[in-house]
A and B are shown apart, each in its own frame.
Chain A
Amino acid sequence: EDQVTQSPEALRLQEGESSSLNCSYTVSGLRGLFWYRQDPGKGPEFLFTLYSAGEEKEKERLKATLTKKESFLHITAPKPEDSATYLCAVQVQGGSEKLVFGKGTKLTVNP
């Protein structure tokens, strides 16, 4: 069964304190790995798609990387407005186009 595990479940940082969120996955074949940001009571907001090991993408203070077993979302010098739940999802080869989501990492950045 395809599985996505995110760690930690929750993370508290001080403003400016860089860190990384982890997403490990077990799938029969990876078509793509997606990162989303979700604010309370809102829909997930698309951040990145990664397709192959070694690929990296950046957007402002966020950088996503991908290996054959896991992905990292690096947050550099975070600000309070980066506080949200970050969701990782995979799309599997040969199957439907559905996304299999992890349970997310709730990030809180204190000023």
Chain B
Amino acid sequence: DSGVTQTPKHLITATGQRVTLRCSPRSGDLSVYWYQQSLDQGLQFLIHYYNGEERAKGNILERFSAQQFPDLHSELNLSSLELGDSALYFCASSVYDRDTEAFFGQGTRLTVV
């Protein structure tokens, strides 16, 4: 158990809908990262928050947004969902904002039908 908690574990929704994925980082970790993993693309970086502030963005679609709250948990919001958004979404956390390993949660499997 990495100490990073993601909910829900599975999510099935229809195209055009909006969902929210939640991540609780390890105790004491200030950084939260979101990654998307699909079969053909591998793990792709979406966004990084450090202590409530956005630090970096990857190839995150405009339909996707995230935030980190004062208690350091983070939410990833996905809207106007398309079939191609079906993937595993992982959250990772680390202590500092650089040079430390990131620990991953178990992921949320999103299926868009």
Contact = CB atoms under 8 A, between A and B. Distances in A.
Interface string A25-51: 000000110101000011111100100
Given A31-B99, A43-B4, A49-B101, A96 B42 contact: no
A49 B102 CA distance: 10
Contacts, number: 66
Contacts of B104: 36, 43-46
Interface residues on B, range: 20 to 34
Contact of B99 (A32, A36, A41, A104): A32
A87 interface: yes
Given A31-B98, A31-B99, A102 B42 contact: yes
A59 to B, nearest CB: 13
A19 B103 CA distance: 27
Contacts of A104: 42
Closest 8 CB pairs of A and B: A96-B56, A43-B104, A98-B45, A101-B43, A103-B42, A44-B104, A97-B98, A46-B101
Interface of B: 2, 4, 31, 33, 35, 42-45, 48, 50, 55-56, 58, 90, 92, 94, 97-99, 101-107, 109
